[in-house]
Structures are given as C-alpha cells and as structure tokens.
C-alpha cells in the first residue's frame, strides 16, 4: 500500500517539482542548490543542519527527565530492513526523499523568498508553517488517529517553529536551498532513529516556542 503510494504519488510529484523548478530558475536555480556553492559558506551551517535535530531531541528529553519523566527504553531504534510499512527502512528513505526534495523546493525554494519580500521573514515563515501543517495533516490523518493536542502541537506549532528555523538557515546562508534540504533530511532521519526520545506534548510545545529565533528577523 505505502510502496504504491510513493511510486504513484510522491516520486512523480518530486520529479515534476524538480523539472518545474529547473525550468523556471534555469542556471540561477542550479547554482543556488549546488552543494559546491554552499561549501564556501563554512562548516558551521553544515554542523547545525546535520546535528541540530538530534541536539534538540536530546534537550527535549533532558527537560522531560528534569520534570520527572521516564527515560526512553531505547535511545536509538534501527528501522527494519524488510517490509513497506511506517517505520521500515523503505518508508524512512522515501520519507527523507519526499521531505527534502518534494517539499523544500516548494516551501523554501518557491514560497519563502516571495512571501518574505512582502511580509518579512518571520511572518512569511509562520504563514508557511500553517500551510505546511495543513498540507501534512491532510495525509497523516489517514495514517494514524490524532488527538486535538497532536494536531495543534505536532502539526502546527512544531511546523511553524521548524519553518522559522529553516528560514533562518536559508536567509543566513544567502538562499542556500541545499543546506535547508540537509537540515530537513537530518530531521527526518533523527525522527526515525530516535522515535522514543523527547518529552510530552506540553514539553514539545514549550520547546518549539523557545526555538523560534524571532530576534534574528528584522
């Protein structure tokens, strides 16, 4: 079922998105997404993009433990290699590809620069986070049953905070879409490898609010 969904929907959508962005950006778009062009921006942003998600997960867990929560039974969970279900290696890999390629060309590549020219970076990020949350909720509600708290925290508050952070990376690296893709991929991989690490919904909500680097936006 899930393999068919990715083969019929996610992969073709990603290919069409890549084609349309290459057609509309041309040579300029290729330069903005090329890793070689981003290497000149220094290793600091790569460290933030790659290790940032794991650090935030561990901070969530630290707050959870301080407040009396229980530690996870397993800190690292390797996905099973066989099968085509949520949590399997196939599903994890396709999720990383769909998020980094299928989403980022739209959210940060297309929407972010245009919206922030009109509304500013912070307002544009919040708007993208709201649309992003609604977009993902439309698919995820068919996969799992969520409570109202899950919808508010997991979908909207978390994705608004994530959109602000990704916009911060994007703008601080002069429009490096590749680095945002690295950060998005690292987040998805961290979610799959550390599914039991993190606090309750309330802790996640407070963490998301504290992560909003609004002072970085003028």
In 3D space, the residue among 174, 171, 140, 143 whose CA is nearest the CA of residue 158 turns out to be: 140
pLDDT tens-place string over residues 27-40? 333 334 445 444 54
Model pLDDT, residue 100: 85
Highest averaged pLDDT of the listed ranges 59-63, 93-97, 145-149, 172-176: 172-176
Residues 141-165 have a mean pLDDT of 74
The confidence score (pLDDT) of residue 90 equals 83
Cβ-Cβ contacts under 8 Å for 218 (sequence gap 6 or more): 120, 121
pLDDT tier, 145 (very low <50, low <70, confident <90, very high otherwise): low
Q: Give the separation between CA 214 and CA 218, rounded to whole angstroms.
A: 8
Phi, psi (degrees; rounded to nearest 5) at 176? -85, 95
Give residue 218's pLDDT: 43
Tokens standing for 76? 């690292």
């Amino acid at each position: 079922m899930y393999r068919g969904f990715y083969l019929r929907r996610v992969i073709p959508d990603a290919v069409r998105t890549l084609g349309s962005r290459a057609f509309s950006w041309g040579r300029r778009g290729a330069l903005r997404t090329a890793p070689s062009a981003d290497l000149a921006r220094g290793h600091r942003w790569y460290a933030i993009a790659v290790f940032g998600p794991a650090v935030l997960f561990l901070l969530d867990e630290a707050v959870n433990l301080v407040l009396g929560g229980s530690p996870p039974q397993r800190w690292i969970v390797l996905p099973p290699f066989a099968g085509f279900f949520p949590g399997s290696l196939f599903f994890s890999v396709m999720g990383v590809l769909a998020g980094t390629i299928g989403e980022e060309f739209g959210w940060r590549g297309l929407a972010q620069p245009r919206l922030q020219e009109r509304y500013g970076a912070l307002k544009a990020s919040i708007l993208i986070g709201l649309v992003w949350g609604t977009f993902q909720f439309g698919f995820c509600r068919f996969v799992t049953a969520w409570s109202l708290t899950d919808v508010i925290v997991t979908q909207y508050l978390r994705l608004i905070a994530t959109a602000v952070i990704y916009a911060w990376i994007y703008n601080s690296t002069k429009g490096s879409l590749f680095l945002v893709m690295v950060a998005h991929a690292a987040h998805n991989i961290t979610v799959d490898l550390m599914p039991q690490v993190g606090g309750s919904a309330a802790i996640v909500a407070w963490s998301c609010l504290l992560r909003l680097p609004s002072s970085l936006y003028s």
